[in-house]
Amino acid sequence: MIFALLIGSHAYLFTGGIPYDIFHALSLEHFSVSNNPNLGGILPEKAWSLPVLRYFSASSCNISGNFPEFPFCKSLSFIDLNRNHLSGSIPESISVCENLETLNFAENNLSGEIPVKLGSLMKLKFLNLSYNDLSGLIPNGDTFKTMDKRVG
């Protein structure tokens, strides 16, 4: 059984995107491929579907495309996808990720408004959406009242 998959910053040979087969590892809790600029590809639709996945990090990997929906992410507490080329809007379904503590989507090409339901994530402690093309107001919600806010 695979509990963690870590591919560090010295693994520049990885190309072709995140392999879809990895999302058949039902016991996977920790997934990190950050700092692999040759990885590319898109986020697989099943990226959040693993039942015990808690940590997902793929920053600085030249990943592009839109975000998949978040229908099954109850265990997920950490998502870091900064410094990629993700576009489109942040799906409202992110509110299903009730255990989310860290969310970093900085330095992408995201557009649209910040989802109102993001304010319902009571465990969220760190949110970085800087250097995107987001518009509108920061949603109301108890989460944003207690969070340390840094806007850039």
Does 103 score more than 90 pLDDT? yes
At 24-77, the pLDDT tens digits run: 888 888 888 888 899 999 998 888 888 899 999 999 999 999 988 888 888 999
Residue 5: pLDDT band with limits 50, 70, 90: low
Average pLDDT of the residues in 9-25: 76
SS (H, E, C) 9-74: CCCCCCCCCCCHHHHHCCCCCEEECCCCCCCCCECCCCCCCCCCCCEEECCCCCCEEECCCCCCCC
Q: Is residue 35 part of a domain?
A: yes
Neighbours of 138 (CB within 10 A): 16
Model pTM greater than 0.95? Answer: no
Q: What is the pLDDT of residues 114-131, one digit of tens each?
A: 998 888 899 999 999 999
Count up the domains in the chain and report the number.
1
pLDDT at 145: 64
Q: Is residue 152 in some structural domain?
A: no
DSSP-derived secondary structure letter, 99: T
Residue 149 is predicted with a pLDDT of 56
In a domain, 67, yes or no: yes
Q: Tell me the two tokens of residue 83.
A: 């410094």
Mean pLDDT on 127-139: 91
Instruction: Please report whether residue 151 resides in a domain.
Output: no
CATH number of the domain enclosing 109: 3.80.10.10
pLDDT at 98: 93
Top pLDDT among 67 and 90 is at: 90
| 57/9: higher pLDDT | 57
Domain range holding 59?
4-146
